Amino acid sequence: MSTPPGARTAPRTEHSPRPHLELRRPSVESEQLCSGISQLIAEVTLDGGAIGYVTPPTRDETDAWLGAVLADVRAGDAGFVVAAADGQVAGCGLWQRRGAVPTYRHSAELRQIMTHPAARGLGLGAAIVSGLLEDARSAGLELLTLGVRGNNQAAIELYSGLGFREWGRLPGGIAVGDERFDDVKMWLPLGDLRPSGRDDLRPSGQDVRALSGPDV
């Protein structure tokens, strides 16, 4: 699956052999990881993925982003999951605490959930998010939020199936060139939200440990 940044890749077909999949949780940079993440971001951007870029960023830019993420991981302020297919980076995602002040440290935001265009149909989106939910619980987080582009129905369905609920929508909040898309906000309680612990705040839907589902 490894390709030079900017190169186009053929999508998987029903006859393609299924690769060996694994989730990794790196905390330090390596050349293989930095290169793989750079290629992943380039391919997702060129495919029109809603990850914040209009054109593929440079290797220096992706290295700087990854370095900052992993620094937060080592500080306990983030969790980073990489999906590998046959040893190659095929997807990633992270959660980051919402702020350094104590009043926000019980919550985090899911960010940069992405899968390689050539890895569609493998359930990597659900696997990555499920891994992040598991890690967030282990870190003692109580609440997760995320934002998703309003036209990304596959992602909205994935998050809804894992228990996320929409809490707000900013019409036209995302600009891609001349186009405008709603910025959809979703949330998931990871346990009883004190002091009420109300039943209506509990997540619904699929077991978050499930590792199959539509790709982001």
| Residue 16 pLDDT exceeds 50 | yes
Domain annotation covers residue 16? no
Domain annotation covers residue 11? no
Label residue 141 by pLDDT band (50, 70, 90).
very high
The Cβ of residue 179 has, within 10 Å, a number of other Cβ atoms equal to 9
Domain annotation covers residue 179? yes
| Residue 86 pLDDT exceeds 70 | yes
For the chain, how far is it from start to end, CA to CA, in angstroms? 18
Domain annotation covers residue 30? yes
Domain annotation covers residue 80? yes
Domain annotation covers residue 57? yes
Domain annotation covers residue 63? yes
Domain annotation covers residue 42? yes
Percent of the chain scored above 90 by pLDDT? 71
**DSSP letter for each residue of the chain:** ----TT---PPP-TTSPPPPEEEE---S--HHHHHHHHHHHHHHHHTT-SSS-SSPPPHHHHHHHHHHHHHHHHTTSEEEEEEEETTEEEEEEEEEES-SSGGGTTEEEEEEEEE-GGGTTS-HHHHHHHHHHHHHHHTT--EEEEEEETT-HHHHHHHHHTT-EEEEEEEEEEEETTEEEEEEEEEEESS--TTT--GGGS--SS-TT---S---
Q: What is the mean pLDDT of residues 132-158?
A: 94
**pLDDT confidence of residue 193:** 53
Percent of the chain scored above 70 by pLDDT? 81
Label residue 14 by pLDDT band (50, 70, 90).
low
Total domains in the fold of the chain: 1
**pLDDT confidence of residue 191:** 73
**pLDDT confidence of residue 158:** 92
* Strand-pair partners of 145: 109, 187
**pLDDT confidence of residue 209:** 31
**pLDDT confidence of residue 199:** 43
**pLDDT confidence of residue 140:** 94
**pLDDT confidence of residue 100:** 76
- CATH of residue 103's domain is 3.40.630.30
Domain range for residue 140?
Answer: 21-201
CA distances from 122 to 6, 51, 85, 88, 125 (A): 23, 20, 9, 14, 8
Q: For every residue of 37-95, which 3-state class applies, written as one string?
A: HHHHHHHHHHCCCCCCCCCCCCHHHHHHHHHHHHHHHHCCCEEEEEEEECCEEEEEEEE
Q: What is the mean pLDDT of residues 110-125?
A: 93
Q: What is the average pLDDT value for the chain, to the nearest integer?
A: 84
